[in-house]
Amino acid sequence: MSRFRFIERAPHEQGFAAVFEREVVPILERQEEARAAALGRRDHWRGKVLKYGLPVVLVLAALSAWAFLSGWIVAGAITAFFAVFSVMAAGMVYFVIGRYHEKMWSQGMATEVLPIVCDFLGDVAYGDANIRPGTFRELGIVPSFSIDRVYDPVSGTHGGLRFDLAEVVLQRKTSGSNNQTRYVTAFRGLLMTIALEAPAPTIIFTRDRGGVGNWLKDTFSAGKHTRIEIDDPEFEAAYETFAEDPDAARAYITTGLTRGLLAVAQDEAQRDVVAAALKDRTLYLAIPRKEDFLNVGKLNAPMDTEGEIFHRFLSDLTLPRRVIDALRGARG
């Protein structure tokens, strides 16, 4: 009997235990062996870095100390610089080796097990999604960024509506006081699009920035989008709403839509604001999220035998259902 097991808990998990036993367990047993092998390769190459890198650092440090003690200040400083550089280079190589082997193992794991989970759910597919972060930036529902990284794309159909979803990390290039360039995370979370049944007016829902922040957004939006008020105090407290055609937007926005966005924020974004935009036949959603989406686990940790990652997979992959149902007023 396998040490891996899965106990069904939620309604959307009903029937998965049999699939887990029949299709997933053999993969997990094979992937546990692959994980151990990858861990061995990682430690082998890290050992090489320490074996050859540490003597170099020690020799350079000794030469630097000798130069300083001999009064050769410039030579000592140069040697010290190379010693520090060697430490940094060795540390970087050590880190990259670990990241590479973990990425290769986790990708192999994901490509084997996630399609099985998707097939069980029936309305979602892993590995492809039409998510373009630049479009979200143009609509103003994610901050400006220089680099975008897109992970774990999924797509499918629920309730007759096509959806695309992916985890993204958006980074912005900045310059410090010493003119050194660095990258800071501007947004981390999920970007999602939902195909609408009919064209919608262009409407943008963004975080209420309060006072000066709202004045700045009003100023920079002048001539393109007009700020409008929504007859929903709770929604108004969280969001600022802008539209190209205020009258068309007011006619389109329903209590179901505003309540749905608040419900998605509460259930899927740890009560953070979920920025959204409507344009033509698409609804765009930017869902902040701290936890990794579809996380398969860590290379240096034994594989979970109680099926916890599969509870998370099933929850993550049914997120589009929950979002669409909430926006349609079928929450719960």
Q: Does 214 have pLDDT greater than 60?
A: no
CB contact at 8 A, 312 and 122 = no
Query: Could you give the 3-state DSSP secondary structure of residue 140?
Result: coil
DSSP string, 55-67: HHHHHHHHHHHHH
DSSP string, 182-226: EEEEEEEEEEEEEEEEEEEEEEEEEE---HHHHHHHHHHHTTT-E
Query: Considering only 98-107, 110-119, 156-165, 280-289, which range has the smallest mean pLDDT?
Result: 98-107
Highest mean pLDDT among 171-185, 245-259, 294-308: 245-259
pLDDT band at 106 (very low <50, low <70, confident <90, very high): confident
Q: Provide, rounded to the nearest whole percent, the portion of the chain with pLDDT above 90.
A: 39
Mean pLDDT, the chain, integer: 86
- Structure-block tokens of residue 210: 């309060």
Nearest to 137 by CA among 164, 184, 170: 170
| Chain position carrying tokens 């979970």 | 304
Q: Which residues contact 146 (CB under 8 A, 6 or more apart)?
A: 171, 172, 173, 183
Q: Does 201 have pLDDT greater than 60?
A: yes
Q: Does 218 have pLDDT greater than 50?
A: no
CB contact at 8 A, 194 and 321 = no
Report pLDDT digits (tens) over 22-73.
999 999 888 888 888 888 888 888 888 888 888 888 888 888 888 888 888 8
Query: Could you give the 3-state DSSP secondary structure of residue 288?
Result: strand
pLDDT at residue 7, rounded to an integer: 92
241: which strand partners? 205, 228
pLDDT at residue 287, rounded to an integer: 93
Query: Considering only 193-202, 240-249, 268-277, which range has the smallest mean pLDDT?
Result: 268-277
pLDDT at residue 298, rounded to an integer: 80
pLDDT at residue 122, rounded to an integer: 93
Q: Does 216 have pLDDT greater than 80?
A: no
Q: Does 136 have pLDDT greater than 70?
A: yes
pLDDT band at 332 (very low <50, low <70, confident <90, very high): very low
DSSP string, 245-285: SHHHHHHH--HHHHHHHHHHHHHHSTT---EEEEEEEEEEE
pLDDT band at 147 (very low <50, low <70, confident <90, very high): very high
- Structure-block tokens of residue 246: 């205020």
Higher pLDDT, 331 or 124: 124
pLDDT at residue 207, rounded to an integer: 78
Q: Which residues contact 275 (CB under 8 A, 6 or more apart)?
A: 141, 142, 205, 206, 207, 285, 286
Report pLDDT digits (tens) over 296-330.
888 777 777 778 899 999 999 999 999 999 988 75
Q: Which residues contact 177 (CB under 8 A, 6 or more apart)?
A: none
pLDDT at residue 19, rounded to an integer: 94
The region, left, alpha or beta by phi > 0 then psi within -120 to 50, assigned to residue 159 is left
Q: Which residues contact 328 (CB under 8 A, 6 or more apart)?
A: 159, 256, 260
pLDDT at residue 210, rounded to an integer: 53
pLDDT at residue 176, rounded to an integer: 67
pLDDT at residue 212, rounded to an integer: 36
CB contact at 8 A, 49 and 97 = yes
Whole-number Å distance between alpha carbons of 264 and 112:
30
pLDDT at residue 108, rounded to an integer: 84
Higher pLDDT, 88 or 212: 88
